[in-house]
Chains A and B, each alone.
Chain A
Amino acid sequence: MTLTQTHRTIEAIWRMESAKLIGSLTRMLRDVGVAEDLAQDALVIALEKWQEIGIPDNPGAWLMTTVKRRAIDLMRRKKLRDQKHVEIAREMDLNHEEDIDQTLDGEIGDDLLRLVFMTCHPVLSQDAKVALTLRLLCGLTTAEIARSFLVAESTIAQRVVRAKRTLRVEKVPFEVPPKGRQRKERLSAVLEVIYLMFNEGYSATSGDQYIRPLLCQEALRLGRVLSEITPHESEVHGLVALMEIQSSRLKTRVSATGEPVLLMDQNRAKWDRLLIRRGLAALKRSQTLGSTLGPYALQAAISACHAEAPTAADTNWIRIAALYEALSRATPSPIIELNRAVAISMAFGPAYGLQIVDELSAEPSLKGYHLLPSVRGDLLFKLGRCEEARKEFERAASMTRNDREKELLLNRINECEYRGTN
């Protein structure tokens, strides 16, 4: 292996293993900051050592043994050797590398779960939760996080420092919240952070070619881990299903020249079948856990309707419209209503969609929101009311500052003028 290959391999191993190391160390040392430092040290040692001896057969176990050894050294040095720590040390047979690939439902799984509840703790701001989760659970570097959010590296570095400090000052415990309402709320905060990470990679049309898929991939990976350690939570499977299915279309959403491709125009043969299968399986699990579907599972079900249609014309819009209706009740919001209007227009005709959009026009929160006149214009155009459609597209164009959106709308205006005179 060349030097760069080795580095790249180690980088990949690091992303997979670092959270487990930090989780275990946090349990031992009760300080996530120190835990991260020690884990980073182990990475440096691995980079040096593996260059010489090659990458070990079980790199995860190698890293875990290394960090635990250092943690014990540290505890000894700090004379923290109370009874409990002695026990931890005794428990560990350091001459034997633990089988770290053992299932996640053991101790390692518990540590990961505690860690993610910690990085998504309500004392932290949303920005801080995202940065800390990407850093501690996904093993991303500060530079990678900064690139993914288009902010300066120092901003992220300081945000992480501040977040860790807040956790320490507020004495946030390393624990899984007790079952019940509190656990549900905390879990939903975790899911929100994961989905935020995923969306940052998925819905941004500009930005780094390398980092965007990385964010989706890392969010998906964390989601899968979470679904293994919390197998009875419907919404966790729902979110995983949603991310799997959306990911199956990542490569076809953008053309070779970087232009976005509409869902209806995408080459379905190129959708990733494995991801779709995994997504559908996760959705099924989510549906069989007893309760009615939550927002993530509903979004996944909508996404699944597209994934299951062999051609765009086969799309089951009636079902999609019903799912949007359910989603709208689960988390009422005008933007979901707009999506419902589009689905209804596909299922029952544009006149029905327009009816819903017109009701939304009175919604004060949508004042100045360019997607409202955009959708209205599209529906009017489909109804052949080109002059009215043109006015709506013009209104929408005046509301957006995004160049790409403006260009799309100008094309639609031209289309209206052409159709209107012919």
Chain B
Amino acid sequence: MATRTPTAKPKLTKAELNPEVSEILQKGNIPKIIYLIKKANAPLPPENSTLLRIVIVTGVLLGIYACYEVQEISFLTFILVSSVMIIGNIFSAITRNNPYSWIKIILAIAATSVFLNTVVSVIGAATQGNIPSILSPLASLFMWTVAIHSFDVPARRDLTFSLSGSAGLIAVASAQAIDSSFGIIVIGWLFLSIISLNLLWKSQVNSKETAKQALIHTLSALTVAAVVAFTIVLILPPPKPLRSLTFPSSIQNRVPVSNPGGLTQGGATPSAPAKPGQPGGKVQVGGYLGFAGPLNTGLRGSLSNKIIMRVRATKPGYWLGETFNTWNGQSWTQTPSKTEELTGNPSFYIPFKLTGEPPQLLFGLPQNTETFYIAAPLPNLLFGTESPVQIYYPDSHLYLGGGRSIRTRDVIDAGTIYTVISREVRLTPTQLQNIMPAGTSYTNGLPQMELATDLQLPKPYYRVKALAKNIVEQYHARSTYQIVSALESWMGIHMRYSLNIPPLPPHADSVDEFLFVTKTGFCEQISSALVVMLRSLGIPAREAVGYVSGSYNPITNLYQVKASDAHAWVQVWYGQNGGWQDTDPTASVPYSTPSPGKIILKDTVSFIKTNLITILLTLIILILLILIFRTTSRIIGYRKLASGQKIIYKLNKFGARFKIQHAPEESISLFIEKLKQVNEIKNKQNLILKLESINRQFDDLEYNPETAKNHKEVNKLKAQIFNDLTELSKSI
């Protein structure tokens, strides 16, 4: 009896697949270390899948775009890097079979110079804790490395490097993401990387079925990961306040202001704002006209949505720029206007007198730390919540101006960073209620010298005073807090908010016009009206301008302040125990510390709401594209089929109605026999005859070598079969 010894099939290694590699890997007498180096550097088989290449390059381009989107790189750099990337990949795709060795040397030199450039810029820009200034060079380094590397990606392993490079780009970009809508880019990138990973896997196993299973596994794993991650973000408490001894502060370029101690318009040249009495007009980028000596409430204009600064803060709040105390019916000014010099470097201690708060009030209050990362030219004002006690700013001098303004010697431009530590003087409504009970003097504890300025009115305002008294009566308001609330509620009922209000007529009084004529206005009119009404009742009040806290970015833990977040509100005197307290008549909604998960949810919902049509259109286009792709590939695939396969395809289509499909190992007669057993066909003699004739003709066409020799015969048979097939599908 013959025995056959079973021989174990040796597993083919990569090297055996590629003769060139195996040649190198012939481990002779060479030392192990050289062998290992050679093994690592052995050329791998070239990657021939164009689809995989395109998908990965698209992923990298998306990463570069993400960096551009978050303003890490300029548009020019974006175009430049993308072009280099595309050209490089085309180059490596063409030369994949015999890559040039000299290109590696050029690429090594280029990569080294990019790295050195990064080191230089990081050393130049990085100061204590200045994360954004490190991120930008890092993004450039990543981008240029991937772009340079794209000239040398012949093999699959190299392509996977490109893919991981794109992951780095996305990570760098998302660290600087503006808001949650950046998630769309991340989702797009995830989609592309899933496709490429699946393609990589698919070609390795060479089996469609298992690749499909792998895709399902990958997707379900990703879904689980996403759900878990999202749940963690939702339940995670908000980040803890910073605990650090020194705080970030830096200046990119020192450009001294022309008038030390004075105020600039912060690079934002107002381009023709509408003057009183004139319609139209616009204000450019960050230039809110309130951050200057006077605040003219007669000016009109709109503000852009450009991000002008990002704030890392213990707590959100109104970032106060300055306050005004003197009103002339149209504009606010500060009296006295003299400035005072302050020294220190980089830490400045702010004297109590700055805010005019009673000093005893400030002891033992919680401290808030706010770091401002400036992203656009701003006036030389330092912002911060009430009441600043310490400032970190990299200069030896600061100026204290009137109305709590802290001014710098240099122009404040993108890249400037400073930190403000403030005491939180805000009190709760209950505290405010009790601090100034009914019957106490409204001016209780106010320094004598401020009495005149903080109750100042340019004219008697009879109409306004009568209205205010009327409102107080109507609401039975007695204490300061009750009066403020009463006036705010009344305005909330009778006034309307709008940014598009008609220009102020010349010589008209802004408050009078707002309260009795237009009854519509934005924060400037609303807050001015409240100040005037309060002052007419004898309550000290002043106008405050600055920015609202802005939108919170849960990814970066930063508040993003846009130019349009500029705001005006009111400070009211609450006696020696309360000091100056903020109140916002425009929107007296109290701020709460946000939870990251809720914000993401809210942002996503609002994004979907605002972009519903775009999303729907994109979806429809995608579905259409998939349908077109599937149809064309089916048509092309069908054309490529041999005649026998075409007939089977048609029969399968026919059989699909009865859920009968041809198995590859099944002969046509067996298949047709199965079809004949179907209930709908069983009793129809003509159908059975048709099927039998198709079977005979098919056999003759496919397996009869005599027929195959005769072209006419073959064509005739084919025509007959397809004719029969059409008749067959029509008959049921």
Q: Do A and B bind each other?
A: no
